[in-house]
Chain A
Amino acid sequence: MTDTHTCLTAKDFTSNQEPKWCPGCGDFSVLQQLKAAMADLCLKTEEVVVVSGIGCSSRLPYYINTYGVHGIHGRAMAMASGLKAARPDLSVWVGTGDGDALSIGGNHYIHTVRRNLDLNVVLFNNEIYGLTKGQYSPTSKVGLRTVTSPSGVVDHPINTIALTLGAGGTFVARVMDRDGKMMKEIFKRAHAHKGTSIVEIYQNCPIFNDGAFGPFTDKERKADTTLFLEQGQPLVFGANGSKGIRLDGFKPTVIDLEKSGVSKEDLWIHDENDLIKANILSRFFDDPNTTEAFLPRPFGIFYVEDRFTYEQALDAQIDKAQEKGEGTLEELLAGPSTWTIN
């Protein structure tokens, strides 16, 4: 994006529609960072399409002054895939939620991820159905009491990162809604990545699931419960970086750096191109509220893989078929074999 046009500002990406989210909703932060990232990336409003499904977060396209389609529940990934396959020149972003992407749209999610179209997917995970007023979602924790689980949820929740890696994801990241700066940087990396980028956002729903991510945001606890991934850096967390993760075989172990005498160089060094390690990291999924010896929850970029995109491969096949020129309408109508009657 280095051509000569003057880059737009985040404000230029603001549409004339007033967001209709609840006060305090985590969605506002995502909207703001997304517009800021688009401005930083020097995107033009006409080359961007934001596609969404149904749900609170899927209102996203209305609030961004680009092209946008608000589709039907669960199908954002499919619609975006068709658009990108037909128009590889566009920058296509998908706004979707845990219900939209992982429940009703779960099938499209898996297949979009494995096809690796160059889409940037912003997956708002609030572990609840907000728009339909508070039913549990496929990412809700076991035991959560909601209007449809008055005795507590009994479904085992989806681990988004593990699912995405399992489906063959090539860009897999997680970020907290309130970590605006990190979110913007991850959006920019997602855009730079050629392939389907999945950015899971832990997004607080202040109305129906307030504090769902409290263990990772509470001031007193977050140092011990969260782990921020940085490429080439050791996995260090805890107050003042007092703890680290070491990999003993395939088993991640929490090391007390102050007491154990283990140096940071001996810790697990994050390598976002290592699929095996990304898979292990994705299993850092303990609930600090219910697990005594929990591993911290990782945030940042888990995994990046450089793989051909669907639309590149499709276009390459078409180019090859057209090596000796595009077929004409006459040839199409006549087909491979004809005869003549006088």
Chain B
Amino acid sequence: MWGSFALLLAVAGLQALAAGDAIPLTFENWRPTLYAYVLWGTCLCAGQVLVRGEQGKRVLFVLPATLFVVSMVVFPLLFGLIIAFSNWNLSSPDGRQFNGWDNVVQMWNDPFYWNALTNMVWYTLAIVVEYAIAFGLALLLNSEIRARKFFRVAFLLPLMLSPVAVSWMIGKSMLEIRFGPISRFLRELGVENVSFFGNPELARLTIMIMDAWTFIPFMMIMILAGLQAVPREVQEAAKVDGASGWRGFWEVTFPLMLPVSITAILIRIIFKLKLADIIINVTAGGPGGATDSVTSFIFREYRDRSNVGYGTMLAMVYLVLIVIAMTALLKLTDRWMRPRY
């Protein structure tokens, strides 16, 4: 176990030296260090069992996943922190250059980044509407209807489709100005030549709708599962007590659904924050950055200028903002979710 750790250190050290031209050894890449790391991980796991016996076997359940996550998340994050403070153009031969706070200053003065952040707020607010629709659909699916399975499958399908295909299917072909079916339908209704991605507000709305189309089923399923877990007696009792449909919903069903709803919304927010595929493929952020999400903005920033340092800085700031917002949200919902009886 310690032997393999020593080996890891030795290989990594050797490569670091070689990279610094300190010794006359050249490596193609850092692969050997990777192999040494894998070996060390395996030996660490095996060592746990040998050294600590039964307790070690238990540790073995969690250890592989922990090692994996640490190496795949914590290490790149730290590495990301380093490159965030540098000017690193991957295509230029100079390599990485430390430039201190320049990236921060540049970010502060970058109107497009702030624009993307405001867009994210709008996109996130759209979740409220999505939630209302999803709740309605879940209620319908939970009521006594025929062919429930058919409807459930049909409603689920949008979630399964890849956003890229969706962005082509809906964004590029169905919304095509001249002969897309939706434009045609609107023309029948008397609206002439709607250009869906021409003006900023409409473009943003269209993106929201497309994203909602994909993810409403997700919230719907979660709420439906919650509804089905509510014992039937509760609703019957409410009915006996004389609660009409509307009041029964607001005073019995909705409070019971609150915890599930909050979980669903939180997860939905997390997914929403990753929103990029549709935007990259349909509008590429246009017109004038009106539809940009942070992710798609960074993606284009890298594509156009291949500057890793600045992009990473933007992403890091985004992460910090997200963590702050999510923590606040969790604290807030934690208070709501406490049962009040």
Q: Are A and B co-members of a single complex?
A: no
Which residues on A are within 8 Å of B, measured CB to CB?
none
